[in-house]
Amino acid sequence: MAEERRGAWFGFGFCGFGQALGSGRGRQVHSPEPLRAPGAGLDVCRVSASWSYTAFVTREGGRVELSGFAVGAAGGCRDAWASEELLVVLRAGPGPGAGTELQAWAPGSALRGEPLWAQTVPEAEREDGPVGDETQAGPLPLLPCARAYVSPRPPFYRPLAPTLRARRLELGAEHALLLDAAGQVFSWGGGRHGQLGHGTLEAEPEPRLLQALQGLTMAEVAAGGWHSLCVSEAGDIYIWGWNESGQLALPTKSLAEDGKTTAEASGLNEDGSEVKTVAGGEDGAPAPFIAVQPFPALLDLPLGSDAVKASCGSRHTAVVTRTGDLYTWGWGKYGQLGHKDTTSLDRPCRVKYFVDKQLQVRTVSCGPWNTYVYAVEKEKS
């Protein structure tokens, strides 16, 4: 059996509250730097970043360490999920068969005293069916039973219809995405920026299947502030929602060369995307830009790369390819794209740091204004 290659976490972007992010010098980090997390030397297996603080979960001992505006630590934890309103942790029950205890804490509590609320949640149950057909619940905010999720706003505990057979759930600022066991995607919540993918800007009170993706099997979903993304089993990327900072990798007015230009016309494409035109194209003709994309759009990465992992920040996007490269685009004001500057991009751009250091990216986790990456050394040829 091949020995697992040594890996490390890296961070870049906003760290104005002192959250561990690379060296943590100043308010922002513009290029990936090895993470100096609390409790140096701990084997971090999960990172969940909110705007003002970050939660790190260690593999050994299940320790949660907080860094930033919220500080503190606790042991015996299986998972943690950070938001500005709540810090949610999963802790093993007191004995065999006792289930898992879900606890919600005020971020500023330092994990001391009593949680705001707590309840025992059951583990996922095996379903009758072919081997390997049972639901495998993903990380928080989806609960281990895959029948409920936790929300940062009341009601905090929200049950899901058993027919959904949830595998992963992601929360944006106003919407939710769910990936089921069959690889189908459902969305609900606010839709004013097209983030639900149903072709309108209307809200959806209950999970609704994305008809545009039917017949395609999805492997990953990611929710940004007001945009959404999914990755198919074949490695294709589908993206939709708000494109204010180029986070959909579509032409956007805010990144146009002439910042003083004004929209001359607006309308809808045949696919329902909101298109405006701005003067100043290379041939003198109006150049189109897309403000809102309410249907999933297929996005090709450079070099025909296949995607395997994805994460979205408030207005930026990060994707890991099958070969271990990291591509980022969208809003870059705090260096969260990792390209050694604060430039925003409306096209996927490979983060060269990991190429130069001969590192293979395994996973990425975006906070609203920053990015965390786990990478391992490339195999020696």
Q: Assign 222 a pLDDT band (cuts: 50, 70, 90).
A: very high
Q: In the predicted model, what is the mean pLDDT of residues 303-321?
A: 97
pLDDT at residue 99 greater than cutoff 90:
no
pLDDT given for residue 59 in this prediction: 87
pLDDT given for residue 151 in this prediction: 95
4-42 per-residue burial string, b: 16 or more CB within 10 A, e: under 16: eeebebbbbbbbbbebbbbebeeebbbbbbebebbeeeb
pLDDT at residue 134 greater than cutoff 80:
no
Q: In the predicted model, what is the mean pLDDT of residues 211-223?
A: 97
Percent of the chain with pLDDT over 90: 71
The pTM (predicted TM-score) of the whole model is: 0.88
Q: What is the pLDDT of residues 260-305, one digit of tens each?
A: 333 333 344 544 445 554 444 445 555 588 999 999 999 999 999 9
Q: In the predicted model, what is the mean pLDDT of residues 17-36?
A: 82
pLDDT given for residue 174 in this prediction: 97
Q: Assign 124 a pLDDT band (cuts: 50, 70, 90).
A: low
Whole-number Å distance between alpha carbons of 14 and 296: 29
Least confident of 49-58, 237-246, 285-294, 365-374: 285-294
Q: What is the pLDDT of residues 333-358, one digit of tens each?
A: 999 999 999 999 999 999 999 999 99
Strand 326-330: give its sheet, edge to edge: 307-312, 316-321, 326-330, 345-350
Q: If you write DSSP's letter for every residue of 24-72 in order, what string do you get?
A: --SSEEEEEEE---SSTT--EEEEEE-SSEEEEEESSS--EEEEESS-E
**Residues facing residue 139 across a β-bridge:** none
Average pLDDT, the chain: 86
Q: What is the pLDDT of residues 194-215, one digit of tens each?
A: 999 999 999 999 999 999 999 9
pLDDT given for residue 1 in this prediction: 41
Sign of CA dihedral 162, 164, 165, 166: negative
pLDDT at residue 378 greater than cutoff 80:
yes
Q: In the predicted model, what is the mean pLDDT of residues 62-85?
A: 93
What the chain holds in terms of domains, given with CATH numbers, is 160-258+289-380 (2.130.10.30)
Least confident of 134-138, 163-167, 278-282: 278-282
Among candidate residues 181, 211, 215, the one with its CA nearest the CA of residue 196: 211
Whole-number Å distance between alpha carbons of 373 and 370: 10
pLDDT given for residue 20 in this prediction: 82
